[in-house]
Amino acid sequence: MSYMEEFKFWLEDDYFDQETKNELLAIRNNEAEIEDRFYQELEFGTGGLRGVIGAGLNRMNIYTVRKATQGLANFILKQGTQDKGVAISYDNRRMSTEFADVTALCLAANGIKAYVFESLRPTPELSFALRTLGCTAGVMVTASHNPPEYNGYKVYWEDGAQVTAPKDKQIIEKVRAITDYHTVKTMDKEEAIKKGLYQVIGKEMDDKYMVELKKQIIHPEIIAEVANDIKIVYTPLCGTGSKPVQRVLSELGFKNVYVVPEQENPDPNFTTLEYPNPEDPKAFTYALRLAKEKDADIILATDPDADRLGVYAKDAKTGEYVSFTGNMSGMLIAEYILREKTAMGTMPKDPALVTTIVTTNMTFPITKAYNVKLIEVLTGFKFIGEQIKLFEQTGSNHYVFGLEESYGCLAGTHARDKDAIVAVMCLCEVASYCKKHGKTLWDMMVELYEKYGYFKETQYTITLKGIDGAKQIQEIMNKLRENPPKAFGERKVLKFRDYQNDVILDMATGEKTPTGLPKSNVLYFELPGDEWCCARPSGTEPKIKFYMGVKGTSLEDAAARSAQLTEDLKAQL
């Protein structure tokens, strides 16, 4: 059907409720809006759904969520694992509670038991819960750090990680195979509860999660020593992190934890935030104000579903607070874990650190210094989680730490997705170590630069919305793929990696070798001096992202090299 025919179907068919029809009637004279809502189905991608909330095929609503769930249910039934059930959690966004129930009741109608959290919980606890319960899958209703008008739906498999190949594509096929909304099942909630197909979970799972988190602490005695002195400011950015973060820090003994009052409670409108993303400096406005008032050592912010962590720490020399990227905070935690476990003799046999191809290259010298294997995977923490599963299946390595540039990391294997709660806990231990030795986190970061090199990473993003935007993004990728630049300014391209076509091209010799990673629409340019540039379309937003990394001789040199590489990239585009 054309977009206008789809629009009329939604208006006229009895399947859709009157509230949905009223919303559509309000746009009946706006053809551009109708086209945007109905020109395509909201894509069920490799991670699930994400989109603007509203009526229509190309929106997040109870109908698109239920249809996606029916596809997931059909896949589970085909696998024969329906008796294991599915765990469901959700964050504070608009319609999150409703979408969680829609998901649960569709599963229940298909004879699959749903374990639903009693109230909002973080993404990493969903990952932990489905593994603890032995579920076949999990669903997290969240749009992560997207603006308030968005919501989303992430699918996890029994190992606790988001679904990877080939299951991701197989689930997508099942979702796409549903062409008639009338075939999508649901049932009454009371009936589902009565039949044991809808079970509420909560406190008991929280307690088990806390036990696993605290196992990652290496030196509780150092925390005890400085617990009365160190000052921590924390903001959950109006999301799910508030209760678990405050609980774990309290149970570890930290006495001076100050939570930003304006952002402590869940708020689906994110009233005090332009954008609930710890990567955005504006998200720290209230936290920085409180930190200056309390003379805090460290400022921490978790995103709405509490899988990403943003950090500021005081520079003792200037008295100002310095922003840390996800690469920086990840490297601080990684080096601390590797150093202390090596010193204590608790490093496991065949240790491995897992990271993504767009994460800082500082991982290379750090892992080499501690004789830890470094494994690089495609962008997306699900690929890090997949490596943990492979280690367990083969016994080839033991997971020590994993991180990605987008403010996500994981210590421990209790979850298989990035966990901002454990990251908060680990970074507070590192900050305690610094406090004990008369240093700040920023002092330790500078020490890492001096020891391993002044690595600096940056991003350049182009946002192109709608149908035309999607075409432009594809055109940019096609141009770079078919005619890869031979240089970025004065930097020659040494090797060109095309992950879509599984080839690494040596630009000097013309030799081609495989990438060794799954196919993905990602292009990577290796440059001299441990520098690089990578291009990939976002899987969740109408954007094309360019990631870049440089290595300088000082902070100033690294900043200048980064700025120049960005300008050279723009010139290529």
Catalytic site positions: 144
Query: Could you give phi then psi for residue 432, rounded to 5 degrees?
Result: -65, -40
Instruction: Give which of 219, 142, 159, 197 is closest to 429, Cα–Cα.
Output: 219
Strands 543-552 and 512-513: unpaired
Q: Can you read off the two tokens belonging to residue 151?
A: 């919501």
Contacts with 456 (C-beta within 8 Å, 6 or more apart), sequence order: 549, 550, 551, 552, 558, 559, 561, 562
Longest dimension (CA), the chain: 70
Taking the C-alpha atoms of residue 65 and residue 136, their distance in angstroms, rounded to an integer, is 19
Query: Could you give phi then psi for residue 359, rounded to 5 degrees?
Result: -90, 160
The vertex-452 CA angle with 448 and 455, nearest 5°, equals 85
| CA-to-CA separations, 518 to 347, 417, 514, 548, in angstroms, rounded | 30, 19, 10, 21
Residue 506: Cβ within 10 Å count: 13
Is residue 273 within 8 A of residue 238, CB to CB? The reply is yes
Radius of gyration, CA atoms only, the chain: 24
Strand residues in 344-415 grouped as ranges (E): 351-356, 373-377, 398-404, 408-410
The vertex-393 CA angle with 116 and 356, nearest 5°, equals 75
Contacts with 524 (C-beta within 8 Å, 6 or more apart), sequence order: 357, 496, 497, 499, 532, 533, 534, 535
Q: Which SS3 state, helix, strand or coil, does residue 238 take?
A: coil
Is residue 249 within 8 A of residue 232, CB to CB? The reply is yes
First to last CA, the chain: 37
Strand residues in 158-253 grouped as ranges (E): 198-201, 231-235
Instruction: Give which of 276, 281, 279 is closest to 321, Cα–Cα.
Output: 281
Compute CA 377 distance to the chain's CA centroid, rounded to the nearest angstrom.
15
If phi over 0 gives left and psi between -120 and 50 gives alpha, with beta otherwise, what is residue 67? alpha
Query: Could you give phi then psi for residue 109, rounded to 5 degrees?
Result: -65, -20
Instruction: Give which of 297, 228, 240 is closest to 270, Cα–Cα.
Output: 240
